[in-house]
Structures are given as structure tokens and as C-alpha cells.
Amino acid sequence: MLKASLTGGPGTQMRGKTMGNVTRRDFFGVAGLAAATLGLGACGQGSSSSGSSTRDPVGADSDLIDAAKAEGTLNVVGSCAEEYLAAACKHFNELYGLQVNYKHLSTADAQALVESEAGAPTHDVWFGGTTDPYNIVSDEGYLDNSYLPKNSSHLMSESYMSSNNDWFGIYKGLLGIMYNKDELDRLGIDAPKDWPDLLDTSCQGLIWTSNYSTSGTARLFLNTIIQTYGHDQGLNYLQQLDKNVQVYTKAGAMPVKSLGTGEAVIAIGFLHDGIAQIEDNGYENIELVAPASGVSYEIGATAVLKGAAHPNAGKLWLEYALSPECVELADDNGSYQTLVIDNAHQPSQVSKHGLNPDDVMDYDFDDAREHTATYVQEIMGLIGGTDSRFQAQ
């Protein structure tokens, strides 16, 4: 868990205004036609509150900027990579001078926090992480849908935002298999090409994946297997896979981070995390596998929490998060997901490693939002989850 506070110059001291809303359908109709504790100081003084929206690099209205500055603070809980979270919060502080406090939690832990606070959140916005938990807390009424950001017109598809107008996509990440090719060669094991290959007895004790109880990545994997093979066969697959799993990590990125050193031989996780290990850490012994039976995916999202203490700062964050000013920070900070807004430059590393973000399975987000909690209970009942392989800290 990472906590930080970023403090900039003084905000404009004036009473803010609350932004209005339009319907999702009308908005897209018009748009389609119109086209750990860390302290960091701010490097800039923020945008001028008296200028027009065209002077703001994010494109936010001056009224919203003034209202956010009057609140003075933004509290962020983030479930993307810590480096990207820190960079995004730092740049928001540089642009607008608000004090930004942030905490890094896994998606599942962030969901649990939001649910435990029950509409009285300690944070204003949630940034990054898989969409399935967002959908669950949306159905529970814990996300704010009072504001439709102008920049959501840049989303490439309506599927990249909530049908309830309360979360908005920022990236798309592909779920797959990764392995240490040096270790597989040393052990004389054939490289896996699809999920069933991981059940081979040669993989016993070699696989790292994440904990279904603590990780949004693990829950995406759980839903993917059930949607691919059916409920009963999917649970049976995961029960058989358990025999080959060496470690269930708390967070979804940890299996991949253990590949290059050979501590893990095979990992299940997001392929962009594998790209980061290759590109940033020089682990050229890592190979990426898009499963032959179909590649599943996440939509990384952001949302304002209902009951937020700084609602206008949260709305300004939405405009920022859906702009190149924010999302293009990702690949500079080790996050190589495909971006889902049409005015941002895509990270070249995705195509460099032969990944096609459009060649994915028809993942059923509605089934996941309805049944994930039940599926987690079922699989944990089958595999136990109490032995030393399961990390919860």
C-alpha cells in the first residue's frame, strides 16, 4: 500500500459551482455528430481560473476549475500500477495546485474499502483497476453519476463507460500467460499456448497466479475461465489448476514481477505487466502468450465516489483522467495498456510485442457483475485458501 500527499500553490479562494449533467445517450449522440509515505512538491502553479476552457490543457470549463480550487484538496484511491498512480496525481497537482492525497490498493481491496465506508468515503475518486469491481459498487450505489465529463466524448466506444454514467474507461489490458523461457528450456517443458496446457503435470509447482479473495486480476481470470468453459467445467479447471500453483499472490501484478528472476516460471496476469518487465527491467527471458482459445481483457476505469468530500475536484479529475495529459503518462511510468480515448497516442510497446487489443473474447461484464462474489466463494470452497501459498498481505 502506498500513501502520498502532493501539495501545490494556493487554490483560488472563491465559491465553486456544481456542474450539470446530460444523459449518456444524448451525450454520445451529440458527440458523434460534433466530432510507504511520500511527500512531493508541485512544480507548477496550476491553470488560470479566469481563462477560457481552451487555455486549460485538459479542456475543462473554467467554472469547474474554480469550484475544484475552492475545495482545495483531492483524495485518490488508486488500483493501477503505483508508478502511474503517483505520476498522475503529481501532474494533476502541477496543473491545478490542489493538494492531492493518494493511497494505492489492489482493486479488490479498494472495492472492500468503498463498501465498508458505505457512502461516506475517505477518498473522492477511484483511479485504475479492473472494471468488474467498479460494476459491483455501482450496483450498490457507491459511485456518483451526477456528472458526465465532456472528455468522455473521446471514448472510442460506449462500452468503455458505465451504463449508469458512473465510471469511465481509461485503458484496456489483456489477460494472458507469461513464462520464463530460460527456465522452461532448463526443465525441458513445452511452452504453454492455452489455458488447458497449464494443467499438465509438468507444470506442477511452477505457476504463480493471484488470490481470488484479494485480487481483481484473479477475479477476471476466474470469470474468464467460467465464461470460456462453462460454470461446472470452469470450476473443475480451476480446481485442477490449483494442483500446479506454487503461489497465490495478493496483487495481480506480483506473479509477473517474479518471472524474470526465475522465482516464478509461469505466471497468469496482464500481458502489459510482462511488457513492463521486458522493456523497463531488461528481462528478455520473458515470453508473452495470448491464449489460443481467446484473450480476455479488463477495462481500467476511474470514478467519483458518492458522498465525496470534494465533489468538484472529483469532477475535474474525471476530465483530466480522460485526457492525454493523464493517460499518456502511463507508458512513461511502466504501464503499457492500450488507451481507449481517441485523442491520445497509443504506447508503441503493445504492437511491438505482437499484441492485438481488438482480438479479444466477448467477455460478459454483466455476468461478472452479477456472479463474481458467488464464484469467489465457490472456488475458495473448493481449493481452501488457507495454506501458505495464499498471500493476503
Task: Mark whether 163 and 14 lie in a shared domain.
Answer: yes
Q: Which residues contact 75 (CB under 8 A, 6 or more apart)?
A: 100, 101, 102, 122, 123, 124, 125, 309, 310
| 51-98 per-position pLDDT tens digit | 434 579 999 999 999 999 999 999 999 999 999 999 999 999 999 999
Identify which of 261, 288, 285 has the alpha carbon closest to the alpha carbon of residue 275.
288
What's the average model confidence in pLDDT over 15-41?
37
Per-residue pLDDT tens digits for 354-383: 999 999 999 999 999 999 999 999 999 999
CATH number at residue 143: 3.40.190.10
Structural domain boundaries, residue 10:
2-172+300-345
- Please write the tens of the pLDDT for every residue from 383-392: 999 999 999 8
Q: How confident is the model at residue 43 (pLDDT cuts 50, 70, 90)?
A: very low
**Does any domain span residue 199?**
yes
Q: Are residues 123 and 141 in the same domain?
A: yes
Query: Both 38 and 123 in a single domain?
Result: yes
Per-residue 3-state assignment (H helix, E strand, C coil) for the chain = CEEEEEECCCCCCCCCCCCCCCCHHHHHHHHHHHCCEEEEECCCCCCCCCCCHHHCCCCCCHHHHHHHHHHCEEEEEECCCHHHHHHHHHHHHHHHCCEEEEEECCHHHHHHHHHHHCCCCCCCEEECCCHHHHHHHHHCCCECCCCCCHHHHHECCHHHECCCCCCEEEEEEEEEEEEEHHHHHHHCCCCCCCHHHHHCHHHCCCEEEECCCCCHHHHHHHHHHHHHHCHHHHHHHHHHHHHHEEEEECCCCHHHHCCCCCCCCEEEEEHHHHHHHHHHHCCCCEEEECCCCCCEEEEEEEEEECCCCCHHHHHHHHHHHCCHHHHCCCHHHCCCCEECECCCCCCHHHHHCCCCCCCCCCCCHHHHHHHHHHHHHHHHHHHCCCCCCECCC
- pLDDT of 31 > 80? The answer is no
Residue 390 lies in a domain: no
Digit-coded pLDDT (tens) for 314-355:
999 999 999 999 999 999 999 999 999 999 999 999 999 999
Nearest-angstrom CA–CA distance, 84 and 87: 5
Give me the pLDDT at residue 95, please.
98
Between 11 and 99, name the one with better pLDDT: 99
User: Is 187's pLDDT higher than 70?
Assistant: yes
pLDDT tens, 264-286?
999 999 999 999 999 999 999 99
Provide, rounded to the nearest whole percent, the portion of the chain with pLDDT above 70. 86
**What pLDDT does 54 receive?**
52
- Residue 155 counted as domain residue: yes
pLDDT of residue 49: 38
Same domain, 131 and 234: no
Is residue 225 in a domain?
Answer: yes
How many independent structural domains does the chain possess? Answer: 2
The CA distances from residue 236 to 55, 225, 377, in Å, are 57, 10, 14
